Structure 1
Amino acid sequence: MNGEANVMARAPRRADRTVGTGEAAAVLAEGLYGVLSTVGPDGLPYGVPLSYIVRDDAVYFHCATVGRKLEHLDARPEVSFCVVGKVRTLPRQFATEYESVIVAGRASRVDGEEKRQALVGILEKYSPEFMSEGEKYLAAKFDVVTVVRIDIEAISGKARR
C-alpha cells in the first residue's frame, strides 16, 4: 500500500471526513462485500459486487473462469474497489453515518499455492464453521475457479460518525 494517496488523485470535497490509512485498511478488512469497478476493451465501465478477503496489502476474490469481469481485467487491469462499512441513517437530520473505503490497484490472476491460500482465506471469512467441508469443496472445484489479486496501490477512506 502506498499510504494515504487519494485514489482519485484529487482532494476530497469533505476533507473533514477523511480517515487515515490504518482506519481505511480496517474498514476494508472488516467489510463483507465490495464493488469492483473496471473498464472494458470497449471503454464501457462495469461495476460488480463481490465477496473478498484482504491479505498482504492485496484484495483477493474468486470468480468463474470466463466472463465479463475477466474480459475487462484482461483488457485493462487497473481497477477500483469500494467497500461501505457500518451505515446508520439519521432521518431527522436528513443524513447518514457511514464509513467507506476506496482502493485503486492492478488486478492479476493467481495460481498454485497463492490461489489455494486465497480460497482458504475466503472460506475462513465466510464459512469458518464449515472448514472441513469447505476444503473438500475447494479441492473438487479448484480447477474451475479463477482467483484474482488486486495489488493495492492507493487507499482512501471517509467516515461520518
Structure 2
Amino acid sequence: MFREMRRKKQVLSSQECIEILNSGTSGVLAVLGDDDYPYAVPVSYVYHDDKIFFHGAKKGHRVDAVRKNQKVSFCVVNKDQVVPDEYTNYFRSVIVFGKAHIMEDELEKRNAINILSKKYAPDHDEEHRQQAIDREYNATCMIELKIEHMSGKEAIELVRSKNSQTN
C-alpha cells in the first residue's frame, strides 16, 4: 500500500526515525483540505507509544479536514544543512502516514495533553502543569495520529559520513 523508498542506501532505521520524532519539536501535518486541496500546517507534537498527538483549537481548517478524511501524513525535518559549494542540502527527515481522529474520551484526551505538556515543559512540577492544563482544557482539541507507515531518509553525504566513521 505504501511505496518503498527508491534510494535504499539513504533509508533510516525504525529506531532512527523514532529518535527523530522524539527529539523534534515541530512538524508539518498534511490533510485533505477544502475542495480537496492539500493543507499542510506546522504543529507542535509529541510521539508516544507509536502514536503522535497534536493540540490546537476546537475549530478550524485542520479539525474540519480530519473530520472529513482521517488519512493524513506528518513530516519532521531533523537536519537541514544547505551546502552552497555542493549545490545540495544535507538533510534528515521522517514522514509518517496514518489515520487521525479527534480525541473525545476525556481520560485519553487529558492523558495526551499531559504527555504533550511534559515534552514542552519538562521542568514544571506536576501541580503547575495540571493548573495550566485545567485552564486551557475546555478550549483544547487533541488529535491522535495512529501510525500505519513510517519512513526516514537522509542525504547520501550523511550516509557516507556515518559509514566512514564505522570503518
TM-score normalised by the chain length of structure 2: 0.85
Alignment counterpart, residue 119 of structure 1, candidates 104, 113, 116:
113
Instruction: After TM superposition, give the deviation of residue 33 of structure 1 in Å.
Output: 0.4
CA offsets, 1:13-49, max 9 Å, x none? 4222111222112211211101000003521110000
Q: How does 1:16-95 map to 2 (within 5 A)?
A: 16-40=9-33, 42-95=35-88
- Where does residue 148 of structure 1 map in the other structure? 143
Instruction: After TM superposition, give the deviation of residue 140 of structure 1 in Å.
Output: 1.8
Contact 1:41 1:75 in 2 (8 A): no
User: Which amino acid in the other structure matches residue 44 of structure 1?
Assistant: Y
Identical counterparts, % of pairs: 33
User: Which amino acid in the other structure matches residue 156 of structure 1?
Assistant: S
User: Which amino acid in the other structure matches residue 75 of structure 2?
Assistant: C
Alignment counterpart, residue 132 of structure 2, candidates 113, 128, 137:
137
Contact 1:41 1:76 in 2 (8 A): no
1 or 2, which has the higher helix percentage? 2
Instruction: After TM superposition, give the deviation of residue 124 of structure 1 in Å.
Output: 1.2
- Where does residue 14 of structure 1 map in the other structure? 7
Instruction: After TM superposition, give the deviation of residue 90 of structure 1 in Å.
Output: 2.1
CA offsets, 1:58-112, max 9 Å, x none? 0001011111101100100100000001232222222222210000000012232
Q: CA RMSD in A?
A: 1.6
Alignment counterpart, residue 101 of structure 1, candidates 94, 99, 118:
94
User: Which amino acid in the other structure matches residue 90 of structure 2?
Assistant: E
* Greater RCO, 1 or 2 (C-alpha within 8 Å, sep 6+): 1
Higher Cα Rg: structure 1 or 2? 2
Aligned length: 154
Residue 120 of structure 1 aligns to a residue whose secondary structure is helix
Can you give the 5+ residue segments of structure 1 that lack an aligned partner in the other structure?
1-7
TM-score normalised by the chain length of structure 1: 0.88
